A and B are shown apart, each in its own frame.
Chain A
Amino acid sequence: MNDAASHALADDDETSVTLPSSCTLRDSLALKALLLDQLALGVNLLVDGSAVERIDTAGLQLLAASARDIGERKQRMRWSGASAQLRAAASRIGVSGLLGLPSDEAGPR
């Protein structure tokens, strides 16, 4: 990943994670490790995707798998922020709903 992603406990039952600016195939191993670390905590997940400048299917697929895993544990994943690029890409391949992302107002191009 290009940027150092950070995470911290938001409160007792929620952990937060900041997605790096690049969440592409090239960054996918590191992103998977980051998300696995968070999921291992077994709490709700607060994701900050406001810094995401580049994201592709590989990155979205990791987020989708995380969201589904969290959902299956009856926990929730919510967003403190999501960049336009992130929302547009997620909407384009139809994963906005699973991710619980705010809708991309401009709509996918």
Chain B
Amino acid sequence: MTIDLAQFQDAFFEESRDAVDTMEGALLELDAKGADAETINTVFRVAHSIKGGAGIFGFTDITDFTHTLETLLDELRGGRMALSPRVSNALLRSVDVLRTMLGAAQRGEPAASTESAALHDELLSIVAVGTCDGPTGTHAAAPSATSARPRVQDPARWSIHFRALPELLTRGNDPVRLFNDLAGLGSLEVRPDFERLPPLSRLDPEVCHLAWQLVLATNLPRDAIDLIFEWVEGDCEYVIEQLPASDTTAVDDPHPEEAAAPVDAVPAAAAPKRQPAADAGAQAKAATNGDAGSIRVSIEKIDDLLNAVGEIVITQSMLQQLAARVDGADAERLRHGLTQLEANVRELQESVMRVRMLPVSFVFSRFPRLVRDLAQRLGKQIRLQMTGEQTELDKTVLEKIGDPLVHLVRNSIDHGIELPDVRVAAGKPPEGTVRLHAFHKGGSITIEVSDDGAGLDRERILAKAVSRGLVDARDVLTDDQVHDLIFLPGFSTAEATTDLSGRGVGMDVVRRNINELGGTVELRSERGKGTRFIVNLPLTLAIVDGQLAAVGEETYIVPIVSIVESLQLRPGMVSAVAGEAEVFSFRGEYVPIVRLHELFGAPPHAADLFEGLIMVVEGDGRRIGLFVDALLGQQQVVIKSLESNYGRIEGVGGATILGEGSVALILDIPGLIRLASTRPPSRRVA
């Protein structure tokens, strides 16, 4: 049977990326806590799994690289090498290189690069030095895994018959390494069987033609042996049998190959544990599918499903409006059925939405490495605290929030946390803390990035803003207003720009990216105590809970999450500040009034402020009073991208189709506030 392995390649790449993430997490754990066998085993397993997959698909550069990585890990695992900073750094760089190699291989490009070759050489050099020197200086003096183990009077003796299947070597397995692992469990005697070794001229050099009869004496349980053979399952036949205590069978012939142990020396009763790799496709599936309790589904399929559900929601809404006008004996039953349909559709919609949800750890997982590397480069001591990693968020939102969060964390490390001596001089511990905290808040999610660093310098920010003409020196600004200035394009107060976050192109982009997700970012900072960025995000980009508002013949949808309050103005409440913008007093502050019909050129039914309604909406820490004719109902609407179906409109986040079939624009409140601030202010007072 011929199997087209290409169909499994995407799954291999996807699985391998997950595996590399796991590897990175485990390596960071090793870096922080020192070498522990379980974690090294985890990294080893990951490297082995990638190597196996790469071998199946013929990505030899990746196979070779992971092979060397495995060798190094094996040295660590066997206690023959210490986890020095050099080793630790090389292992972490391997993660980066593997990601690059996988990306290149997926694009059909050569996986090896100058960088991967250099690191490969370094890994080999580490292995060579480690092998010669060992953790204590000389290999001879280094306690091996065997000698370090306490000796017990009578270790159990295991007979192991091992025969390679043809694919063993090309799948990245090597009996040399396998037997090294076994020798690490105790004392190993090896007798090769050359019976099937053909003459050199007929020998396929990529096929292992050898078999072995091994005797292992160990105090460890059988599970320890099985664990080692787990790596070669499917690529060999092996039989493990405990020898009776009185059996002194040993491979003591100094030239055992001249009297090769007959294969039938293996007890007939013990059926060989044959794991033939007869079906390469099944192997590939097994290598890439993970456990059988889950399946991988492309995001496009889920989006198609979600779109279909969205259409059902619209149709159901239309039917409900129609049903409201139907009379007769069956009208009540029809309405009852539609109510039932509405409940079912909502449940279906929520189920599909949940499929798209991923825990925030999907994004947070990159930060331990980031913080470690940057702290090392800047000579700072930084502890990263993460909480709420299991909070779930839509996959698309998560993917897009990654870069802004990276920038905020970099900003905290670069500009927030002080150097250890500066901190000590300020009466703080030398180690600073960066916190990432995610939690649900109403119908949205909040991610906070905070640090206990120096906080923002109000005077420096103001001075910079004045020098750039962004504010007038005579302006009286609150702390929050001053802090908000750092989100202006091109604003940077760094003494010297670094390649981390000081180019002054960052914070405005961060805010814009978050706004584009329908979210907001706010900032709280206290001099000497630290800074906190608060990012609010919608749970999903697919649906929104909206308030329908009428302006003339048009209906607009305002995300409920942005609404602070709705009210009707009375004469005397409205005034003009400095003879310019119309404002009204709301909870102790003056809120500017924005007439929605003026922004979008829609003729209103209510031109007078006292005839219509004001919706106080908030975005990025700023509030406006949005003037509309009237409020209609509230409903959950399916967001259709205006950008991909029409074009980008400032202040509009998308569109939806209402029950009666008309299109309504969904307002992007932060964008709308920005748009309003660029327009000439309304000067009419009421």
Contacts and interface: CB of A to CB of B under 8 A. Distances in A.
B206 A93 contact: no
Interface stretch (B168-176, B447-455, B624-632, B672-680): B168-176
Contacts of A31: 205
A44 to B, nearest CB: 16
Given A26-B60, A92-B190, A106-B140, A65 B208 contact: no
Given A25-B169, A65-B198, A94 B203 contact: no
A94 B60 CA distance: 28
Given A25-B170, A26-B64, A93-B192, A62 B183 contact: no
Contacts of A64: 194, 197, 210, 257
Interface string B197-224: 1111101011011101000000000000
B179 interface: yes
B258 interface: yes
A103 to B, nearest CB: 9
B203 A92 contact: no
B19 to A, nearest CB: 22
A56 interface: yes
Contacts of B140: 106
B200 A66 contact: yes
A62 B199 CA distance: 9
A58 interface: yes
B255 A29 contact: no
A108 B198 contact: no
Q: Chain A interface residue count: which class?
A: 20 to 34
B404 interface: no
A39 interface: yes
Contact of A97 (B144, B169, B255): B255
Given A26-B64, A89-B176, A95 B199 contact: no
Contacts of A1: none
Contacts of A58: 169, 174, 205-206, 208
A53 B174 CA distance: 16
A88 B175 CA distance: 13
A65 B197 contact: yes
Given A26-B60, A57-B175, A92-B176, A109 B254 contact: no
A109 B192 contact: no
B180 interface: yes
B124 A109 contact: no
B200 A94 contact: no
A28 B60 CA distance: 13
Contacts of A29: 205
Contacts of A94: 190-192, 212, 251, 256-257
A98 B177 CA distance: 20
Contacts of B256: 94, 97
Given A61-B208, A61-B210, A62-B200, A97 B258 contact: yes
Contacts of A35: 200
Contact of A109 (B180, B200, B206): B180
B234 interface: no
B78 interface: yes
B208 A57 contact: yes
Contacts of A108: 179-180, 183
Interface in B451-488: none
B380 interface: no
A17 to B, nearest CB: 13
A36 B201 contact: yes
A54 B68 CA distance: 10
B128 interface: yes
A64 B260 CA distance: 14
Contacts of A36: 200-201
A3 interface: no
Contacts of B254: 97
B180 A57 contact: no
A52 interface: no
B200 A93 contact: no
B193 to A, nearest CB: 9
B450 to A, nearest CB: 49
Most buried by A among B64, B80, B205: B205
B407 interface: no
Contacts of B176: 55-57, 60, 89, 92-93
Given A64-B197, A92-B180, 7 more contacts: A28-B206, A61-B205, A85-B131, A92-B176, A93-B212, A94-B191, A97-B255
Interface of A: 25-26, 28-29, 31-32, 35-36, 39, 53-58, 60-62, 64-66, 68-69, 85, 89, 92-95, 97-98, 106, 108-109
5 contacts: A53-B124, A54-B124, A94-B191, A94-B257, A109-B80
